[in-house]
Each structure stands twice: as structure tokens, then as C-alpha cells.
Amino acid sequence: MQTRRAVASLWIGEKLHYINQLCLKSHLLQGHPTTLYCTHDVTNAPEGVEIRPAAEIMDIDMELVAVTSASFLSNVFRYKMIQKTGAIWIDCDAFCHKPFDADQHFIFAGHGMLGNLNCGVVAIPQACDLMDQLLDYYENLPDYPPWWNKNQRRKMDRLQHQNLSHAARIYKAERTAFGPQAFTYFCKQTGDFDRAMTPDVLYPVPFQLNDVFYDPYGRVEGHFTEKTISVHLYTNGTKPWWRKNPPLPNSYMARMCDRIGIDPKAALH
């Protein structure tokens, strides 16, 4: 198969769930060299995925992860990884429906029903104003994210007496302040917002409808268009039942596992 652009992601933990195995392997089968940067010794990644230490890109503060989430530091990791390697960032729950084009310098899209951008799949130039502003934000956190309103600031102020770092307080006040909120804001600041692809390219199914992936009578493909490249599966919003049980036969998730060659029962929570 033709070798395409490299893709990469981050995993904080010791074991992949079957959904993560499915998504990583889907990129391999579309010809994308796939790297998984890890904080632990992950032994159940699909064959062909290159495992690299996360420390090659940046140190992961596990104490900060413990008071936020496993995905928290991925918000800065993804841009540092892109800057260093030029690979396309993929979340570990982004399924590769079709290969990315080799000449796409900007890959990101609108998301959901609100018109904001998401950063679950991202490519931007290694050297650009957007990269500089994103990394400056993460490395020199302001007192409050500049786009916050008074209510959001008050919400964070109420956390000031808790034994939390400044970054953790921002996260506790607004979970997406380091992810989609920041990406949307800085794309507007640099004039890159209009480069966004339409949601059907990378997020064809809105987050609010993510149960459809597990419904044996759901028509997931009805959300797709000819432009659809990636299908975000939203594991952060997946109900605990589906993390602990295999998908029902004929559901999109079960059909993709059959097609890609992933055994869900072998990697459940």
C-alpha cells in the first residue's frame, strides 16, 4: 500500500481499549505510518503501530493528570508533536474512513451543533503564527483564558482556595478551555478560522448523537458525505456500558471491528 503522511497520538496508561485499537489500526490500513507516544509500557497496540516514549516530545506531569484527566495534557502535546515531527495529530478515538491527502497543510474542522472547532484531528504547519500563539498560551498561562466571560472567571475564582495548580483550576472551571475553546479562539486570532473544513469531513456524527455508533439499527453512514475522511467516536462521552461490553452485532462499532480485525472482548474496561 502507498505510504501516506504519518499520523501520531498520545496514550497515558497501560492498556488500550478496543476502540483505541480499532482507530489506530484503521490508519495503518489506509497506509498512514502510525506512532503512539506512551507514558507506560503499552503491550496491546495493534501490530505495526510504532510505540515511542512520550518524553521524546514533552514530559508528562502525572500529578497534574491525576487531578485533571488522562487527555488533559494531550492538548499541548499535540502541537509540540506537530512542531517537532510534522505528523498529523489523531485522537485515539478517531477512525480513519479514508486516507488524508498528502498536500493538506491545514487539517481541522467544525464540530457538533455549535459551530466551534475541534482539535481531535489536526494538522497545521510546523512553523506558523497559529503554532506560536497556541504554544505561548500553554507555556505562559494568563490569569484567565482571554475569551472567558465574567461568569466563567467567577467560576474559576471559587476554586482559588483549593489545593490546585493554576492549570488545574482553569481545567476544573472549563474542561475544554485547553482543547476546542483554545483552538477556536487562536484560529480566529490568526485568521485561520476560515480554513476549517466542514464537520462532515472529520466529525460527521455530532457528539450529542454518539450512541448511534452502538445501535444495531442506527444508520451511522447516513451522516457521511463524499468528503468524510475521519469519524470521531467520542470515547469521552461513551456510556460506561459500552466501555465494559462488546458492541451489539450489526452496530457500526461491531461492523468496523469485523472489517478491521479487532476483537472487542479482548480489550474491554
Dist. CA 203–CA 136, nearest whole Å:
27
pTM of the model: 0.96
Helix (H) or strand (E) holding 20: helix 18-29
Please name which of 42, 35, 41 lies closest in space to residue 57, comparing C-alpha atoms.
Answer: 35
Q: What is the pLDDT of residue 1?
A: 54
Distance CA 261, CA 142 (A): 46
pLDDT (tens digit, 0 to 9) for every residue of the chain, 269 residues total? 567 999 999 999 999 999 999 999 999 999 999 999 999 999 999 999 999 999 999 999 999 999 999 889 999 999 999 999 999 999 999 999 999 998 899 999 998 767 789 999 999 999 999 999 999 999 999 999 999 999 999 999 999 989 999 999 999 999 999 999 999 999 999 999 999 999 999 999 999 899 999 999 999 999 999 999 999 999 988 999 999 999 999 999 999 999 999 999 999 99
Pairing of strands 7-11, 34-38: parallel
Determine the pLDDT at residue 112: 72
pLDDT value of position 186: 98
Residues 6+ apart with CB under 8 A from 134: 79, 182, 183, 186
In order of start, what are the domains of the chain with their CATH numbers? 7-262 (3.90.550)
CB 20 within 8 A of CB 90: no
What the block records as the C-alpha cell of 169 is: 483550576
Beta strands 50-53 and 7-11, pairing class: unpaired
